A and B are shown apart, each in its own frame.
Chain A
Amino acid sequence: MEKKEDIPIMNFIKGDRINLTPLLQKDINLVVRWMNDPDIRTYTRNPLPRTIEEVTKWFEPKKDEMKTDVDFLIYHKNDEKTIGMVGLTDIQWLDRNANIFTVIGEPEYWGKGIGVEAGKMMITYAFEELNLHKVHTSIYSPNERSLKAAAKIGLIQEAILREEIYIDGTHVDNHKFAVFKKDWLNLKKDEEM
């Protein structure tokens, strides 16, 4: 007899070092910690404190309308540990585009290219399964790590919105990056050949 607390690992998308799994209620505390962590929340734009209650609501099942967000937890296979989140937000089904975000919440996994791996898996999902046309993201100027990751993933800078965001006492630029389905699928074909 299966116990209720015995939640299996759900490998929705399998990668080399990480798998992407659905949001599970047991991980709410972890996500709340990341959202409030000063080192993480700066660039993920969480300037306001987040409570467990708020995030619990966010994790609760939604009505059956077409989703505007799809989020996954990043599960490190070797270490058997949830280390971050990746997701699509603001999905526009008519225009077929969405915003992508990646957060590695556990600092010991920074600088290992895991964010790049998660980002690539998510973009492949967005194009190959959801049939989106374009995936875009915003990166703020002092965030060197994300700028590097965006280049490695293959995102192309489209625009710079000047002094758009207020971070640490100053207005900084918002770099808009994007990638298109046709380029992504061609790139994948080339890699396979």
Chain B
Amino acid sequence: MEHEEVRTFISGKNVDLLPGDNLEHVNLYAKWDNDQETRHYARNIFPTPPEDYKKGIEEEKKGTPQEMNFEIYHKGDKKIIGYVGFNHINWSDRNANIGMVIGEPEYRSKDLGTEAAALIIDYGFNELNMFKIGCGMYVLNTASMKVAEKLGMQREIVYKEQAWVDGKYVDEYEYRIFLDEWKEKRKELL
């Protein structure tokens, strides 16, 4: 990727967040979401061809968005390595859920996900005026759980046998952090 094409929206130490839903990168998104290992943790159970992303991006949208996506850009390697975003933004209750995928396996377990999530949480509280931000994962997704804990999130809900994964029912967790908790936590993370 050429430097001049990088449209940094939020700048971090190792990663930047760029606007997501880029028509030119639909093959990249499709590659990640359809990969057997990656989709297992993200719980994408249906195949998604690149055209599906294209259609979603091209659709006319009105009003304040209820979801938002960013590409995670590795500054050192000048490479897009995954995406992070808010899904289900609730503007009246001022809360939102985070979804994230580090699509390139060699960038996993390097705290880059924690950094990207910290950037978007900070954005959610400081710029979008959120009150509470959460994320969910099923019990076998220990990597996401660790990220949530590093971000200072608390486990708020355990849904017993909520998800059917690999032929059995497993528990799902929801984590969350409030604005006032984040004000403290951001000092050590950012």
Interface residues of A (CB under 8 A from B): 1-2, 4, 6-8, 10-14, 21-25, 59-61, 67, 70-72, 127-131, 185, 188
Contacts and interface: CB of A to CB of B under 8 A. Distances in A.
B9 interface: no
Q: Would you call the interface of chain B mostly helix, strand, loop, or mixed?
A: helix
A63 to B, nearest CB: 10
Given A12-B39, A13-B36, A22 B49 contact: yes
A133 to B, nearest CB: 12
Interface stretch (B24-32, B90-98, B129-137, B138-146): B24-32
Interface of B: 1-2, 5, 24-25, 27-28, 30-31, 34-36, 39, 45-52, 54-56, 164-167
Contacts, number: 72
Contacts of B54: 61
Contacts of B51: 25, 59-61
A185 B167 CA distance: 7
B31 A10 contact: yes
Contact of B48 (A2, A14, A22, A130): A22
Given A12-B34, A12-B36, A22-B34, A7 B2 contact: no
25 contacts: A1-B2, A2-B25, A2-B28, A4-B27, A6-B27, A7-B27, A7-B50, A10-B47, A12-B34, A12-B35, A12-B36, A12-B47, A13-B36, A22-B34, A22-B49, A23-B47, A24-B50, A61-B49, A61-B52, A72-B47, A128-B165, A128-B167, A129-B45, A129-B166, A188-B167
Q: Would you call the interface of chain A mostly helix, strand, loop, or mixed?
A: loop
B28 to A, nearest CB: 6
Given A7-B50, A129-B165, 6 more contacts: A21-B34, A25-B51, A67-B46, A71-B47, A128-B166, A129-B45
A61 B55 CA distance: 7
B49 A25 contact: yes
A165 to B, nearest CB: 29
B45 A11 contact: no
